[in-house]
Amino acid sequence: MTACGKPLEVCMQGLGRLEYRGYDSAGVALAAPGMDLVAVRKKAGRLDNLKADLARSPLPDATVGIGHTRWATNGEPSDTNAHPHVSADGKIAIIHNGIIENASKLKMDLQSEGYVFSSGTDTEVAAKLLGKVANTIIEETGKPDLFEALRRVARMLTGAFTILAVDCRQPDIVVGARHDSPLVVGLGEGENFLGSDVAAFVAYTKHAMEIGQDQAVCISGDQVIVTDFNGNPVKDSKRFTVDWDASAAEKGGWPSFMDKEIHEDPEAVANTLLGRFDDQGDIVLDEVHIGLDVFRQVDKIIVVACGTASYAGMVAKYAIEHWVRIPVEVELAHEFRYRDPILTPRTLVVAISQSGETMDTLMALRHAREQGSRVLAICNTQGASIPRESDAVLYTHAGPEIAVASTKAFVAQIVAAYLLGLYLAQVKGTMYRDEIRHILEQLKDMPQKIQWVLDNQAGNVEQAAKQMVSAHSFLFLGRHVGYPVALEGALKLKEIAYTFTEGFAAGELKHGPIALVDAGEPVVVIVPSARGRNILHNKVISGIEEVKARGAFTIAVAELGDPDVEQYADVVFWRPVCPTLLSPLVDVVPLQLFAMDMAMLKGYDVDKPRNLAKSVTVE
Ligand code: F6R
């Protein structure tokens, strides 16, 4: 991943910053003039295992290096299956993200030629193949050409891959190739870097360059060459400056990244609103390069996303349908493609993704574009694949999110989707300007309301977590915008506290789920405000009464001073008064804290839950 004077140090710090992307094993490979073989070290488990091993027996000095943290797709986590993998002659080492779909066939071919494999990974197949092709080139031309060898191999692979390689015969370069998997270049002075995310090198340089689909790159200390897989030069690679500092991706005194990031919820909302208005207070979405005429004609929105991002989309559906009066469908990205969705040039597909690399979402947006629809990405990561492949992007400015469980990105995604909804209302004239401005003013008040929850409800939440720490399961209920919030609260608890949790629409209770309620069963209920049209409030309160009558222990998220809630709920997490459509921005906060407290009380690593990785770059 780096061609500079201190490759091991750069790799190890980069892996530390990227460990959230995968943490079941880690490894490095180095090359330097005079080495007969690449120097490789790899270890199963967290990065600390590798660090300890390197401290016990250091690797030699080097000029280039590559490093990898793994989330197993192919072969269980072990020292052997960890990356880097080496060529048969040990001269080349590679690291790989993605899944090589024709690996079995290639492996059989290589085995029939006498190649022997020690791991169960597709990556080792690519390593052996690269070694073979590199040697063929030496036979053909009399000199090594790792860049050309990797391009040839890239043309032979199917599936998804980013591959980086070093060769001890060319110890001044690192080469890379990408197809359906991320890769960015860091442009330093006298040193250059490659990473699957800018976080890998942001401590060294904020100047970055995108590598496009089916492109290959060769970096040395003073040069970066980009070509397509056939070797044709690529001259127009997009450059950008990373808009956050390395310190933003550090814990900065917080016990965990998740704790830090929940406390950044207010800032994430404020920053996502920043710079999106002109002097008259109208919304201007500068990064959105879709013409006004196209927006005016949009007659349906389909949100494609996964997990937390899809729940942000579900929240936005309530608001956008209300404001713009066009249907909004929210679809899990991995389901979308396979059901022959109805897409027309007037459909706006909104792809929501924190990482911008979720393969399911990327595939969904490609499908939408193939069908002639416009795609707008709501994304938190500059230069990522999803914004790059979309027609337009609206960045959430939540700053880097490191904890695997998404928190501040969720509130920022809601705000960005709301801005899009209000923009459409402005362009299509479905709302009066005053109305839009009024909502924008209310949105601008939300950071301080979230802050109020953080300042005044955290103790309450911690207390409830202590009380509930041994509970085996939870139910989360909500209606209207409270429904996706219930789903999100449930997801947080599942993924970091490993507790069986079901979130559902409160109205469904009596259609089945109430059978789950037994004495002591904890039920978390998002209660809408009793102000204004209070039908929903009363119905949700009835739901609380019903589960209470069956012995449930109830936790309510409710508006300050709600008298009914005080009467029926065992515990209340209070929300300050705010408009119903904006309430998800505050209601999710105690649920994020609750999941974190539960996980901490159980002694789990809240930032790196088992079996998960931050960016799901495989389908
Ligand atoms: C849950 C979580 C995941 C992600 C999902 C989509 O806390 O983080 O459910 O929301 O994997 O990821 P992005 O937003 O990166 O596309």
Position 1 scores a pLDDT of 46
Q: For 203-217, how does the pLDDT look when each residue is reduced to its tens digit (9 = 90+)?
A: 999 999 999 999 999
Neighbours of 166 (CB within 10 A): 34
Does pLDDT of 618 surpass 90?
A: no
Give the CA dihedral 492, 494, 498, 501, nearest 10 degrees. Answer: 130
pTM for this predicted structure: 0.87
Task: List b or e across 452-481, with b for residues whose CB sees 16 or more CB atoms inside 10 angstroms.
Answer: bbbeebbebbbebbeebeebeebbbbbbbb
585: pLDDT confidence band, cut at 50, 70 and 90?
Answer: very high
Under the banding of pLDDT at 50, 70 and 90, the label for residue 193 is: very high
Q: How many CB atoms lie within 10 A of CB 498?
A: 15
Give yes or no for a contact between 17 and 199, defined as CB atoms under 8 angstroms apart.
Answer: yes
Same domain, 371 and 222: no
Q: How far apart (Å, rounded) are the C-alpha atoms in residues 438 and 150?
A: 56
With a cut of 70, say whether residue 5 has pLDDT above it: no
Residue 612 located in a structural domain? no
Tally Cβ neighbours within 10 Å of residue 521.
18
Max Cα distance, the chain (Å): 85
Do 128 and 66 share a structural domain? Answer: yes
Domain membership of residue 606 (yes or no) is: no
Cα–Cα dist 238/389, whole Å: 13
Bridge partner residues of 474 (DSSP): 501
- Do 247 and 266 reside in the same domain of the chain? no
Over residues 392-408, the mean pLDDT reads 95
CA of 23 to the centre of ligand 1 (A): 17
Q: What is the Cα–Cα distance from 569 to 525, expressed in whole angstroms? A: 9
Percent of the chain topping pLDDT 70: 99
Gap from CA of 352 to ligand 1 centroid (Å): 9
Enter the DSSP assignment of 400.
-
Q: Could you tell me the pLDDT band of residue 514, with boundaries at 50, 70 and 90?
A: confident
Same domain, 302 and 350: yes
The rounded Cα 381 to chain-centroid distance in angstroms is 9
Pairing between strand 207-210 and 239-241?
A: antiparallel
For 387, the enclosing helix (H) or strand (E) is helix 385-389
Tens digit of pLDDT for each residue in 402-454? 999 999 999 999 999 999 999 999 999 999 999 999 999 999 999 999 999 99
| 16-35 pLDDT, tens digit each | 988 877 778 999 999 999 99
Query: How far apart, in whole angstroms, are the C-alpha atoms of residue 82 and residue 118?
Result: 11
The atom of ligand 1 lying closest to the CA of 307 is 9
pLDDT grade for 2, boundaries at 50, 70 and 90 = low
422 & 524 share domain: yes
Last residue of a domain, one of 219, 251, 283: 251
Quote the number of domains for the chain: 2
- Shared domain for 230 and 141, answered yes or no, is yes
Please say which residue of 206, 221, 251 terminates a domain.
251
For residues 398 and 362, membership in a common domain is answered with: yes
Residue 70 and residue 93 in one domain: yes
The confidence score (pLDDT) of residue 63 equals 96
- Its domain, for residue 298, covers 261-601
Residue 4: pLDDT band with limits 50, 70, 90? low
Average pLDDT over residues 575-604: 97
Number of Cβ within 10 Å of residue 448's Cβ equals 12
Confidence of residue 282 (pLDDT cuts 50, 70, 90): confident
Region 507-517: mean pLDDT is 89
Instruction: Check which CATH number belongs to the domain holding 268 and give it.
Output: 3.40.50.10490
The residue that leads in pLDDT, 46 or 308, is 308
54 by Cβ neighbours in 10 Å (0-12 / 13-18 / 19+) ranks as: middle
Are 246 and 159 within one domain? yes
pLDDT tens-digit map of 68-99: 998 877 678 888 889 999 999 999 999 999 98
pLDDT of residue 246: 83
The alpha carbon of 310 and the centre of ligand 1 are apart by a number of angstroms equal to: 8
Average pLDDT over residues 553-581: 94
E strands, 437-499, are: 473-478
Index of the ligand 1 atom closest to the CA of residue 354: 14
Q: Is residue 78 part of a domain?
A: yes
The verdict on residue 610 lying in a domain is: no
Flag whether pLDDT at 3 surpasses 60: no
Report the amino acid identity of residue 420.
L
On whether the CB atoms of residues 446 and 576 are closer than 8 A, the answer is no
Ligand 1 mean position to 37 CA, how many Å?
40
Mutate which of 21, 265, 358 for ligand 1? The one with the most ligand atoms within 8 Å of its CB, which is 358
For residue 1, tell me if it sits in a domain: no
Beta strands 224-228; 64-70: pairing state:
unpaired
Together in a domain, 447 and 304: yes
Q: What is the mean pLDDT of the chain?
A: 94
Residue 609 resides in a domain? no
Q: Which of 210, 232, 251 is the last residue of a domain?
A: 251
Between β-strands 239-241 and 215-219, what pairing exists: parallel, antiparallel or unpaired? unpaired
Is 4 catalytic? The answer is yes
Same domain, 213 and 241: yes
461: which DSSP letter? H
Provide the token pair at 424. Answer: 């459409």
C-alpha angle with apex 609: 72 to 53, nearest 5 degrees? 60
In the prediction, which pLDDT does 533 show? Answer: 64
Distances (CA, A) of 215 to 265, 333, 364, 390: 37, 26, 22, 18
Residues 283, 380, single domain; the answer is yes
On whether residue 615 sits in a domain, the answer given is: no
Is residue 608 domain-resident? Answer: no
**CATH assignment of the domain containing 154:** 3.60.20.10
Which protein residues are within 6 Å of ligand 1, measured from CB?
Answer: 306-309, 353-355, 358, 361, 405-406, 491, 495, 616
